[in-house]
Structure 1
């Protein structure tokens, strides 16, 4: 298959990592689109990108573009997804892929109608460590999974205007960091949770600042998730089995896990992949999906996680974003 032309829509931190990931493979982004043209020009000069669009929507009309990586704010995703997918472009979209399940279902239908790959850029689905852990779990050495405990807490300055707390920018802990914790839970659980309880503390702007979530699936596996945007926690995932437990720190891009065996307390360290190559793994899997292996991007898990987030945020907390309120008018 010929080398695919990637374009980035947005030129922030993730776009820089994408450009570096392609450079690791002696490749260059084909094009850059951004709301602020001057930033796009500077980004292109930094990475030797040959094409900068005068208008952000021009990327959708360029027949040379094969794949678009969208890394703009959450609440802008669905608008760009509609245009990209309708134009027949494959799309890798930064998490959270949409605001809610209805938007995601619309995007999935558009991708199917246009026979293109749509995927969420959820790093942990593509890190080699998680694939290796799946092999160990499948071998039966650890026994049955019983419990998952997840922590993710960031300390963000209490500035209600920044994107983390800004309701107009789809702020809040759930869409920003909760999506990682719930994706981890879904990756390891044998089935989708069907019992969900939660508590929330709102920031003054009305977005979720802190939350606790309890989940149980039909197989009796349970998970707890603790999130905060104003209290630092380790990015820690703990998997408890009959015969041992597995700890993973910095789990969104994990490269190392420690198994502690119950019988004698000895530990076993599992290492696979490299944290700084996270975007390289995503790009490789996305291109494999475009080549034919659609399951490798785990849209089934993405949909399950989005359904959980939508249920918790809207159904249990009564928390909505302006875009959702306008759609109801």
Structure 2
């Protein structure tokens, strides 16, 4: 088992900064950084004491000393970067949404399997202690079976059509940016993948998905509703309704508490676990353990694949295809 793993980050945005800070919390330093704008990479390296800055992103993939790459670039760049990185033997943690569609993800899963590498989506929900605790409670059966899940996620973004939230050339839209969180919670609390999915959507002026309502149902009759918006604020609220009570999570995905309400008495029990500030720390701890042990089950790639399947089906139903996208 390898003791020390060298991390490189592709990108220098908000997530890259959090990632560098999480590594410091783990008692180690980020090994290398690469960015399309070299000057930004240099400034980032100076800020965090990163030992290596690549002149080109390709140099990151070729560096034999890199073990894990965290890809934090826009969604539509992921596939090409992932393919190169996996070809050169790098384990990958990729910012959500991991790819644009199911075809891309299935290609990368097959390549990672062939190369015997860990591939995972940087989905905070898979790693934060509160969700792990809630999954254990639900799976114990003490609250009965999950019946219906209701999800809200609305963000008010100004109509700046060059911004990544609406820009089709940057794979903009509510689905890949915030819908992926809502659907990840839905999938993680359902016993199996939904096979009946219907929806309505409203395009933004660019043709990206500005707003959507989604209904999901699986073969066991478990159901979910999801309401998303990029131009209207909603509470980031999840409610998992079971036979004997319901679980309410506010401010997901980065949550550290939930309330369980008893169906008969109305009694409320607060569940707490973890710290929202440590979201990236939990992700990276699980990723290191997966690489070192060879057991990547905590990375929940099967759930990521199921969620990508749902999102791809929805966009196909809407006819919302990104420029140059092949699905």
TM score, norm. by length of structure 2: 0.98
Residue 26 of structure 1 and its aligned partner are, at CA, apart by: 1.7
Does the 8 Å CA contact 1:91/1:117 hold for their aligned counterparts?
yes
Q: Does 1:300 align with 2:302?
A: yes
Q: Distance in 2 between matches of 1:47 and 1:299?
A: 30
Q: Distance in 2 between matches of 1:3 and 1:300?
A: 27
Q: Distance in 1 between matches of 2:140 and 2:27?
A: 37
Residue 139 of structure 1 and its aligned partner are, at CA, apart by: 2.1
Residue in 1 aligned with 2:32?
31
Residue 242 of structure 1 and its aligned partner are, at CA, apart by: 1.0
Residue in 2 aligned with 1:174?
175
Choose 70-79 or 291-300, whichever is displaced more. 291-300
Residue 237 of structure 1 and its aligned partner are, at CA, apart by: 0.3
Residue in 2 aligned with 1:9?
10
Residue in 1 aligned with 2:98?
97
Q: Distance in 2 between matches of 1:303 and 1:138?
A: 21
Q: Distance in 1 between matches of 2:142 and 2:301?
A: 29
Residue in 2 aligned with 1:199?
200
Gaps of 5+ in 1: none
Q: What SS is found at the alignment partner of 2:253?
A: helix
Q: Distance in 2 between matches of 1:264 and 1:302?
A: 36
Does the 8 Å CA contact 1:75/1:323 hold for their aligned counterparts?
no
Does the 8 Å CA contact 1:10/1:72 hold for their aligned counterparts?
yes
1:167-225 per-position Cα deviation (integer Å, ceiling 9, x unaligned): 01000000000000000000000000000000000001001000000000111100000
Q: Distance in 2 between matches of 1:208 and 1:138?
A: 34
Residue 323 of structure 1 and its aligned partner are, at CA, apart by: 1.9
Residue 165 of structure 1 and its aligned partner are, at CA, apart by: 0.4
Q: Distance in 2 between matches of 1:121 and 1:239?
A: 23
Q: Distance in 1 between matches of 2:142 and 2:62?
A: 52
Q: Does 1:68 align with 2:79?
A: no
Q: Distance in 1 between matches of 2:98 and 2:92?
A: 10
Once superposed, what is the RMSD of the aligned Cα atoms? Answer: 0.9
Residue 262 of structure 1 and its aligned partner are, at CA, apart by: 1.3
Residue 161 of structure 1 and its aligned partner are, at CA, apart by: 1.2
Q: Does 1:106 align with 2:107?
A: yes
Residue 138 of structure 1 and its aligned partner are, at CA, apart by: 2.0
Q: Distance in 2 between matches of 1:139 and 1:226?
A: 29
